[in-house]
Amino acid sequence: MDSERSKKTGNVVQLRKPTQSQRNSEAKWGKKVIGLGFCVVPSLLLRAQSRLGLNPT
């Protein structure tokens, strides 16, 4: 039965509903900005990037 459904729908992935924080980000920055890939990064990650071994690449 699942293979029949798979053939009809292909690889459809259910999208999850936006969380409250996502809606807040859209309200603050706008849907177009969020849609282009903007994401909020906690400043703690920026300040501790060296200790965490993070680099720009």
47 vs 12: which has the higher pLDDT: 47
Half-sphere exposure at residue 37, Cβ-oriented, CA atoms within 13 angstroms: 0
Would you say 26 and 34 are in contact if contact means Cβ atoms under 8 Å apart?
yes
Lowest mean pLDDT among 4-13, 16-25, 42-51: 4-13
- Please tell me the distance from the alpha carbon of residue 19 to that of residue 40, in angstroms, as a whole number: 14
What digits encode the pLDDT tens for the residues 35-55?
A: 898 888 888 888 898 899 988
pLDDT for the residue 42: 84
- Please tell me the distance from the alpha carbon of residue 52 to that of residue 44, in angstroms, as a whole number: 11
Under the banding of pLDDT at 50, 70 and 90, the label for residue 2 is low
Largest CA distance in the chain: 52
